[in-house]
Amino acid sequence: RRRERQIKHLLRERLPRKLFDFLVQVGELARDKGVNVYCVGGFVRDILLHLPNFDVDFVVEGDAIAFARAMARTFGGRVREHRKFKTAVVVLESGEKIDVATARLEYYEYPAALPTVELSSIKMDLFRRDFTINALAVQVNPDQFGRLVDFFGGQKDIKNKTIRVLHSLSFVEDPTRIIRAIRFAQRFGFSIGGQTERLIKNAVELNIFHKLSGSRIFHEIRLMLAENKPVACLKEMARFNLLKAIHPMLTMDPAKQQILEEIEKVVAWYRLLYLEPSPCPWLVYLLGLCAGFNDAQVQVLVRRLNLTKKQACLLTSLRHSIRKAIEDLFRWEQGKQATSELFFILEPLALEGVLYLMARSRKESMRKHISLFLTQLRTQTIDITGKDLQALGIASGPIYGQILRAVTAAKLDNDSLSREEQLRMAREMAARSR
C-alpha cells in the first residue's frame, strides 16, 4: 500500500536554499503545464538518509521533453533530447545537468470495444527500479509539494538498513543489479535482505552473468570501484561467487586481497590530499586484479569486460611502464638516489600507475619517496621557459627539450637554484651543443 508522508520540512532543512527554491519553481512550472512532476531515485533516498546529494532527477507524468524545454526557457539553458527514451537532459547555464524522464506507461484495458488507455504513471516508473530505497519519489507541484510517494516500503527499508528488490524476477531482468546491491549495501552500511540474498544466489546459480554483456558489467564494476570501500564490495562479490561468474580468472585469494587492500589505502590517502588530477580508481584496482597475470590473460579479461580500445590501451601500456619503473626504482635505490632521477622514473607514468607502485612497495622508504613525488616533485616547476631560450637566441630544436629537462633535474636536486643560474645553465648547454 502506498505510504505517503510530507517531507517539505526535510527538503527545506537539508537542501541548500537555492536548490530548495529551484524545486519550488519547477513545481510551479509543472502546475502551469498541467503535469505532475517528481524528484526520484538517489536524491530522495539521500535526503531521507541525511546525506548530501544535490543531483536531482525529475520524472514527469506526461511529456518530459516538452517539460524539459519549458525548464530551459524558464531557468536558462539548453536541452539534449533522447526521443527514443522520452527523456531529456537540461543543461543549465551553470553547466549543471538535470535529467528529466517521462514516467513509464501504464495500460488500462477497458472491456468491449473501448481502446486501451495509456497513462504515464509514477507508480510504473518506480516499479521498474532496482531497490525499494531507490524507488521513492517526492512530488513538487505546489499543491502537493513535498509529498513522498512510497509504494514499495522504501522508507521502512531505509529505517531497517536493508537493500531489497521490488520483485522476485528483478535480478533475472537485470543481473547488474546484483553488483548495485552490493555497492549500496557497502556504501550505506546496509545489509542485503534475506529474500533478496536468496534471489542473488539463485541468479548466480542460473549463471545469468554468462549472457550479460561485458560493457554493462564493467559499467557497474567501475561505479563500485569508485566507492570508498571497494575491497569490501569485491569480497562480497567473491562470497556470492560473482567474480568467478564474470570470469573464472577473477579470483580473490589472500594474496590478491592484500594487494587490493593496499591499493585501497593508497587511493584513500591520495583522495584525502585533494590533489589534482583525481585518479580513475578502476584503473588502479584493475592493475591489482591483474597482478600476476600474463599479457594474454589480461587480454582475456579486457575482452570479457569489453573495455574500450582506449581503456585497454591504458591498462596494457601502464602494465609495461610499471614493469620498467620497478626495475628503475630498484636501481635507483641501490645508487645515489638523486631526487631528479626519481622524478624522471615516475614522471612518465600515469597517476594510476604511481599509486599502484606505491601500494605494491613493501619498503616504507620507497613509499615515502613515491609520496614525495606525488605531493611535491610532480608539480615543481622551473623558472625558465622556451620563450627564455628564444630570447637567448638559441635555435629551436630538440635542444629545447634537453635544456629544460636538465634544468628541471638541476632544480630538483638543488631547490635554491635561481633563475639566473638556470639561464646560465641553458646558455652553457646551448654553447656546448654548437
Sign of CA dihedral 276, 281, 283, 286: positive
Choose, by CB under 6 A, the member of 41, 193, 230, 353 that binds ligand ATP.
41
CA-CA distance, 54 to 46, in Å (whole number)?
9
Instruction: Give the residue with the Cβ less far from ligand ATP, 176 or 339.
Output: 176
| Minimum CB–partner distance for residue 13 and ligand ATP (Å) | 20
Strand (E) or helix (H) holding 107: strand 105-108
Output the CA angle 170-174-180, nearest 5 degrees.
Answer: 90
Contact indicator for 43, 136 with CB cutoff of 8 Å: no
| Minimum CB–partner distance for residue 159 and ligand ATP (Å) | 18
Q: Alpha helix (H) ranges present in 335-385?
A: 339-346, 351-360, 364-375
Contact call for residue 174 and ligand ATP (CB under 6 A): yes
Contact positions with ligand ATP (CB under 6 A) in 280-339: none
Count of residues interacting with ligand ATP (CB under 6 A): 8
Instruction: Give the residue with the Cβ less far from ligand ATP, 184 or 343.
Output: 184
Instruction: Give the residue with the Cβ less far from ligand ATP, 134 or 339.
Output: 134
Instruction: Give the residue with the Cβ less far from ligand ATP, 129 or 319.
Output: 129
Label residue 161 left, alpha or beta by phi (over 0 means left) and psi (-120 to 50 means alpha): left
CA-CA distance, 278 to 142, in Å (whole number)?
41
Contact call for residue 96 and ligand ATP (CB under 6 A): no
Instruction: Give the residue with the Cβ less far from ligand ATP, 220 or 264.
Output: 220
What cell was used for 316?
596494457
- CA distances from residue 420 to 15, 381, 388, 410, 424 in whole angstroms, order as listed: 54, 15, 11, 13, 6
Contact call for residue 176 and ligand ATP (CB under 6 A): yes
Site stretch for ligand ATP (CB under 6 A), options 84-92, 174-182, 360-368, 425-433: 174-182
Instruction: Give the residue with the Cβ less far from ligand ATP, 177 or 367.
Output: 177
| Minimum CB–partner distance for residue 340 and ligand ATP (Å) | 43
Q: Report whether the peptide linkage leading into residue 111 is cis, meaning its omega lies within 30 degrees of zero.
A: no
Instruction: Give the residue with the Cβ less far from ligand ATP, 104 or 129.
Output: 129
Contact call for residue 196 and ligand ATP (CB under 6 A): no
Q: Nearest 10 degrees: CA dihedral of 321, 326, 331, 334? A: 160
| Minimum CB–partner distance for residue 324 and ligand ATP (Å) | 37
Contact positions with ligand ATP (CB under 6 A) in 110-169: 129-130, 134
CA-CA distance, 140 to 148, in Å (whole number)?
10
| Minimum CB–partner distance for residue 226 and ligand ATP (Å) | 9
Contact positions with ligand ATP (CB under 6 A) in 257-276: none
Instruction: Give the residue with the Cβ less far from ligand ATP, 27 or 41.
Output: 41
Instruction: Give the residue with the Cβ less far from ligand ATP, 179 or 426.
Output: 179
Strand (E) or helix (H) holding 316: helix 309-334
Site stretch for ligand ATP (CB under 6 A), options 173-181, 192-200, 312-320, 354-362: 173-181
Main-chain dihedrals φ then ψ at residue 38, nearest 5 degrees: -130, 150
Closest CA to 318 of 275, 282, 350, 270: 350
| Minimum CB–partner distance for residue 80 and ligand ATP (Å) | 17
User: DSSP 3-state assignment of 47?
Assistant: helix
| Minimum CB–partner distance for residue 130 and ligand ATP (Å) | 4
Overall size of the chain counted in residues? 434
Instruction: Give the residue with the Cβ less far from ligand ATP, 81 or 174.
Output: 174
Instruction: Give the residue with the Cβ less far from ligand ATP, 120 or 422.
Output: 120
- Write the single-letter amino acid at 71: M
Site stretch for ligand ATP (CB under 6 A), options 170-178, 307-315, 323-331, 343-351: 170-178
Minimal CB distance residue for ligand ATP? 42
Closest CA to 414 of 392, 383, 389: 383
Site stretch for ligand ATP (CB under 6 A), options 152-160, 172-180, 366-374, 385-393: 172-180
CA-CA distance, 261 to 263, in Å (whole number)?
5
Choose, by CB under 6 A, the member of 86, 164, 177, 411 that binds ligand ATP.
177
Contact indicator for 56, 67 with CB cutoff of 8 Å: no
| Minimum CB–partner distance for residue 103 and ligand ATP (Å) | 13
Rg of the chain over Cα atoms, rounded to whole angstroms, equals: 28
| Minimum CB–partner distance for residue 53 and ligand ATP (Å) | 6
Query: Where do contacts with ligand ATP occur on this chain (CB under 6 A)?
Result: 41-42, 129-130, 134, 174, 176-177
